[in-house]
Amino acid sequence: MGLNLIDLLKGQLGNAVAGQIGKSLGIGEKAASSGLDALIPVILGKVIQQTSTKSGAEDFSRTLDRDELRGGGLLDNIGDIFGGGKKQEQVSGLGGTLVKALFGDKLGAFLPLLSKLLGIDSGKSSSLLGMLVPIVFSFLSKQKSQQNLDPMGFANLLGSQKDIIAKAMPAGFSDALGLASILPSGGSSSRPSGSRPSQAQTSSSGGGGFARLLIPLLIAAALAYFGYQYFNRGAEKAKDVVEGIAEKLPEVPEISIPKFDLPDFSGLKLPEEAGELSSVFGKFNEAFQDVKDEASAKLAIPKFENLNAQFDSFSGKLGSLPEAVQSAVKSGVGGYLEPIQKLIDQIYAIPGVKSILEPLLNATIAKIKGLAGM
């Protein structure tokens, strides 16, 4: 039997890890086990996508050489990761950075799918993903080291797993993550080709063969001619009717979409301990840019839900950070409330959008004010 990275990783994690994750995140062992089954192929699929080019493979190889991941060190202390305390915080912080780089703008659409599958909220789904990505990366670093693979050799190893990963991927995840062009669909559909007629079948026998072919052709040609004459005259009449109607139609006013003034968060300088919050604000403008009308506002709902969940996650940690860090967060975030509210007002100017997004964005403003100590 060939190498199966999914089974190999599960074997190294052991049977007890689902219970540890479930207890740590408060989601229960069953949801944690289902999360492992779903997320391991998801993470591997995204890695295959990232390493599908030479530059991507080289960048990812450098990621695996980070001190925190090199040689599979996280797998040696798996119990410490889910036992709470400093180690879990370190892995969770690393996971936030790795998740953002790996999933990019697909994360907002993916987390609601994962939450629905596992029956947990998007905040818990985000935390689970953030803990598992570093573990999977550490496992991959170990494989790369043990097999002495260069970046392209490692990419080829992952490529050999496409069929296995595609079969393990939950339904609908591949499309949501943009992996449909990378992974096989899971079943090859072959269309049987008809047998080519033999020369004996295509050649006519007897003296009347040519006549039998010629008569249908003449009939078809006559029908085509008369059909053209009939429909051409009909088309001219139809054209006249359409032009007459068009002259009577009122002009449709041009619809203008407001230009958004996106806040510049590059000036938001937060301490290293608050790096997670910097990452959240980095995704802030992405959620707004795609909103153009009612339909796109509805599609953006998962992104805003994910933003709010991440604000909640950081708010829960803020009180345990040093007082100097808390002060820096309050002063730094408070200065952005005015441009954020201005952006929201511009979004509301689009017809039909306010009723869709107002509950979510009211919550967003409240969370940001809470971080700013207002």
* One-character DSSP codes across 95-162: HHHHHHHHHGGGHHHHHHHHHHHHTS-HHHHHHHHHHHHHHHHHHHHHHHHHTT--HHHHHHHHHTTH
Q: Report pLDDT digits (tens) over 107-139.
A: 998 999 999 999 999 899 999 999 899 999 999
Instruction: Give pLDDT, residue 267.
Output: 63
| Residue 352 DSSP SS3 | coil
Q: Is the pLDDT of residue 104 over 60?
A: yes
Task: Summarize the confidence of residues 4-27 as an average pLDDT.
Answer: 88
pLDDT interval class at 151 (50, 70, 90): very high
| Residue 337 DSSP SS3 | helix
Task: Summarize the confidence of residues 84-107 as an average pLDDT.
Answer: 86
CA distance to 39, 72, 120, 230, per residue, from 12 (Å): 16, 10, 26, 76
To the nearest 10 degrees (0 to 180), the angle between helices 85-103 and 107-118 is 120
Contacts of 251 (CB under 8 A, 6+ apart): none
Contact 20, 91 (CB under 8 A): no
CA distance to 115, 155, 314, 318, per residue, from 277 (Å): 22, 32, 7, 10
Torsion sign (Cα): 82, 86, 91, 97: positive
Instruction: Give pLDDT, residue 99.
Output: 93
Instruction: Give pLDDT, residue 75.
Output: 80
Instruction: Give pLDDT, residue 216.
Output: 60
Q: Please give the span between the terminal C-alpha atoms of the chain, in angstroms, as a whole number.
A: 61
Comparison of pLDDT for 228 and 299, the residue scoring more: 299
Comparison of pLDDT for 244 and 9, the residue scoring more: 9
| Residue 242 DSSP SS3 | helix
Contacts of 359 (CB under 8 A, 6+ apart): none
Instruction: Give pLDDT, residue 362.
Output: 87
For residue 24, give the nearest of 134, 121, 127 by alpha carbon.
127
Instruction: Give pLDDT, residue 181.
Output: 85
Instruction: Give pLDDT, residue 206.
Output: 42
Q: Is the pLDDT of residue 2 over 80?
A: no
Instruction: Give pLDDT, residue 197.
Output: 39
pLDDT, averaged across the chain: 78
For residue 288, give the nearest of 300, 279, 277, 278 by alpha carbon.
300
Instruction: Give pLDDT, residue 154.
Output: 93
Instruction: Give pLDDT, residue 194.
Output: 37
Task: Summarize the confidence of residues 171-178 as an average pLDDT.
Answer: 90
Comparison of pLDDT for 219 and 202, the residue scoring more: 219
| Residue 213 DSSP SS3 | helix
Q: Report pLDDT digits (tens) over 219-233.
A: 666 566 555 555 555
Rank 34-38, 274-278, 286-290 by mean pLDDT and report only the highest: 34-38
Q: Report pLDDT digits (tens) over 231-280.
A: 555 555 555 654 555 455 555 444 444 556 666 666 666 777 776 776 67
- Rounded Cα distance between 278 and 145, Å, is 33
Task: Summarize the confidence of residues 90-111 as an average pLDDT.
Answer: 90
Comparison of pLDDT for 178 and 192, the residue scoring more: 178
Comparison of pLDDT for 93 and 211, the residue scoring more: 93
Helix (H) or strand (E) holding 38: helix 29-50
To the nearest 10 degrees (0 to 180), the angle between helices 122-146 and 107-118 is 100
Instruction: Give pLDDT, residue 77.
Output: 73
Residue 61: both structure tokens together: 């190889």
pLDDT interval class at 49 (50, 70, 90): very high
